[in-house]
Chain A
Amino acid sequence: MEPVLCVLITVLFSASFYLMLSTHIIRVLLGVALLSNGVNLLIFTAGRLLREVPPIIAEGQMVPTMATANPLPQALILTAIVISFSFFAFLLVLGFRAYQALGTDDVNEMRVAEPEREPEPPMGY
């Protein structure tokens, strides 16, 4: 199971890096979304995979007595999913507002904060 997931993670990472190298905000945004999904799968795989063994402790026992799936990566991923989704939502709105206000979604043309022809600092007194 691990090799399949590793290939999937590679594909997600490569696609996300390709998208993030674009100059258009919407593509970068999709790249960020893919990257966060790739990372979640990475944590999941790093926690060792076991099929169909839920970490349930039988009645009358204090600890699970057989190998069970590791619940910790799932807790970590849950946190990471919530965070990355909220950031995705925020960035989507931010990108849209920037598009509305600046009239472009090409980062090379967004030169309001750093104007292309900046006034030179005074050279002489």
Chain B
Amino acid sequence: MAGESHAVDLSHAMFTQPVAFADWLVIAPVVTTIIGGAICLMTRKQTTLQPWIGTFVMALLVAIDAALLARVMTDGPVTMVMGNWLPPFGIAFTVDAFGALMALVGAVVALTGSVYALVDVRTLSRRYGFYPLLMLLMTGVSGAFLTGDIFNLYVWFEVTLISSFGLLILGSSRPQLDGAVKYAFLNLIATTLFLVAVGYLYGVLGTLNMADIVRTVRELPDAAPIGTIAALFLLAFAMKAAAFPINFWLPASYHTPRIVVGAVFAGLLTKVGVYSLIRILVMLMPENRAVMADIIVWLAIGTMLSGVLGALAQNDIRRMLGYLVVSGIGSMLVGLALGTADAVGGALLYAVHSMLVMTALYYVAGIMRRTGGAFDLAGLGGLYGANPLLAGLFLVLGLAVSGLPPFSGFWPKVVLVEASLKAGQGLLAAAILLTGFLTTLAVGRVWLFAFWRGGPLGTPDGAEHLPTARVPHETRLAAYLPVFFLVALIVWLGVWPEPVFAVANQSALGMVDPGAYLDSVFGGSE
């Protein structure tokens, strides 16, 4: 072999200190859910035991994510590098306030899902693996929120995707197969486009570590085709997030699975797309985001309006909720379009609000089906007389999703409208307000037909046509408990939003100025 031997000082390539015990917290969400999933898979036939394991692991996940968020809020971003290699050589998990906040809210959604599944997912579906798939879904989602490496983001996306396929076709009814075909193909194409962008990015920059990308993108010559890569990322993640022209897979599939699966999807999956959009376009490629800002403004307006107009035209409550999920994505894209710290903070607040509210609305739709016997507006009626408590819960959630005070939807909309007016985007502000108004109409229509009206379509008003079916007594608590919990959070966010505001602002500042993120990754190497 040619060349002389080099003496290499390994201290420049590796951490020589062992990982501090507290730093294991960074990968604990992923490890916990994988182990939980494995245990659930082993106890596949103990269908009465599984929900307890599932709920316990999800509660543990909430605790871990809360601890992680508390740590990040006090100490700034935390990094753990696999195998002790120094970044950018080792694969990094970097947690900042943004990732930790999204992971915590995601874990809360999954916890409520695993409780609601006591009612909704019966023995056979448990045998087919509802709980293991839910755990693996959370593994993918937590991994995507916490990773600091773009190729790993792709891998976590795929983990999320394959478990979501499994959950979607749980039960294999004909509508489910139909919806799953569209969902599966379009989402797989979106992640493959994401991989194309990752391949180009590696070709141009030679690195895939997010913090390293932030450094190297700044030093690129102007001729580098980074704009094309940014556009590819926008296309791929907009498809994952169900933004306007490429959102048709969501309303085609979200109403087909079990209600708890729809609820967890509505809370988690599209938000992972929004998270990646903000992380990559705002933090990694701010200049290219600014170039595409006008396009993103129209994407946001189109998503908001097409979503809410779709919701107005639906007869089936679940399909209406699917369109409302799309419409909410539009509001989050406003933050991406403006790119200022205020607007990104507003988008994060909106994401937190939307995750909680959409999940709770799906649960309520499930209880409405159990009480009234139908999912469509023509067949429902008189629910107020049959179940005033449910009517109250739906009213709270309806006002929250429309963005009316004193519930959680109000503050993010205020922040977003203010930020768009400050940026001179009056059209965007108008679209947000119009969407809020139309959402109120869509939700109000459900209230009018399902709750206020005396009975199903064609029956006269009066008490004699009230629905008689009820949630079976022994499972009622498991159905209502997640809704109460989420409604309590929504009211709390509406009347005392300061703590979440603080986290969202710190996250947004970290996105716009990733200095602390870089310090956390590269601090150990100096």
Would A35 and B448 be within 8 Å (CB), given that A90-B165, A97-B177 are in contact?
Answer: no
Assess whether A91 is interfacial by the CB under 8 Å rule: yes
Selected contact of B3 from candidates A66, A83, A94, A111, CB within 8 Å:
A66
Would A110 and B181 be within 8 Å (CB), given that A47-B202, A58-B1, A94-B165 are in contact?
Answer: yes
Would A73 and B202 be within 8 Å (CB), given that A58-B1, A102-B174 are in contact?
Answer: yes
Q: CB within 8 Å of A: which of B172-187?
A: 172, 174-182, 184-185
Q: Chain B contact residues: over half helix, strand or loop, or mixed? A: helix
Assess whether A3 is interfacial by the CB under 8 Å rule: no
Assess whether B6 is interfacial by the CB under 8 Å rule: yes
Nearest-CB residue, chain A, relative to B200: A46
Q: Is the CB of A43 within 8 A of B181?
A: no
Q: Is the CB of B453 within 8 A of A125?
A: yes
The number of chain A residues with a CB under 8 A from chain B is: 49
Would A112 and B175 be within 8 Å (CB), given that A32-B192, A36-B192, A66-B3 are in contact?
Answer: yes
Q: Which residues of chain B have C-beta atoms less than 8 A from A102's C-beta? A: 174, 177-178
- How near does chain A come to B322, taking the closest CB pair, in angstroms? 11
The winner among A32, A58, A87 for most chain B CB atoms within 10 A is A87
Assess whether B18 is interfacial by the CB under 8 Å rule: no
Q: Is the CB of A62 within 8 A of B5?
A: yes
- Cα(A118)–Cα(B161), bound, Å: 29
Give the contact-size bracket for chain B.
Answer: 35 or more
Q: Is the CB of B177 within 8 A of A94?
A: yes
Q: CB within 8 Å of A: which of B129-176?
A: 151, 154-155, 158, 161-162, 165, 169, 172, 174-176
Q: Which residues of chain A have C-beta atoms less than 8 A from B184's C-beta? A: 90-91, 94
Nearest-CB residue, chain A, relative to B314: A121
- How near does chain A come to B205, taking the closest CB pair, in angstroms? 10
Assess whether B188 is interfacial by the CB under 8 Å rule: yes
Q: Is the CB of B174 within 8 A of A46?
A: no
Q: Is the CB of B315 within 8 A of A39?
A: no
Q: Which residues of chain B have C-beta atoms less than 8 A from A36's C-beta? A: 192
Q: Which residues of chain B have C-beta atoms less than 8 A from A76's C-beta? A: 151, 202
Stretch at the interface among B42-50, B95-103, B252-260, B414-422: B252-260
A97-125, CB under 8 A of B: which get 1 and which 0?
11001100001001111100011111001
Assess whether B53 is interfacial by the CB under 8 Å rule: no
Assess whether A86 is interfacial by the CB under 8 Å rule: yes
Q: CB within 8 Å of A: which of B249-293?
A: 251-253, 255-256
Q: Is the CB of A119 within 8 A of B174?
A: no
Assess whether B457 is interfacial by the CB under 8 Å rule: yes
Q: Is the CB of B169 within 8 A of A94?
A: yes
Would A83 and B158 be within 8 Å (CB), given that A39-B195, A65-B2 are in contact?
Answer: yes
Q: Is the CB of B185 within 8 A of A28?
A: yes
Assess whether B469 is interfacial by the CB under 8 Å rule: no
Q: Which of A's residues lie within 8 Å of B, judged by CB?
A: 20, 25, 28-29, 32, 35-36, 39, 42-43, 45-47, 58, 60-63, 65-66, 72-73, 76, 79-80, 83-84, 86-87, 90-91, 94-95, 97-98, 101-102, 107, 110-114, 118-122, 125
- Contacts A/B (CB < 8 Å), 24 sampled: A28-B185, A42-B200, A43-B198, A61-B5, A65-B4, A66-B2, A83-B158, A86-B162, A90-B184, A95-B181, A101-B172, A110-B178, A110-B181, A110-B182, A112-B175, A112-B178, A113-B178, A114-B251, A119-B378, A120-B315, A121-B445, A122-B378, A122-B449, A125-B449
Q: Which of B's residues lie within 8 Å of A, judged by CB?
A: 1-8, 151, 154-155, 158, 161-162, 165, 169, 172, 174-182, 184-185, 188-189, 192, 195-196, 198-200, 202-203, 251-253, 255-256, 313-315, 376-378, 445, 448-449, 453, 457
Rank and list the top 10 A-B pairs by shortest CB-CB distance, nearest first: A46-B203, A65-B3, A62-B8, A43-B199, A58-B1, A121-B315, A113-B178, A113-B179, A112-B178, A113-B175
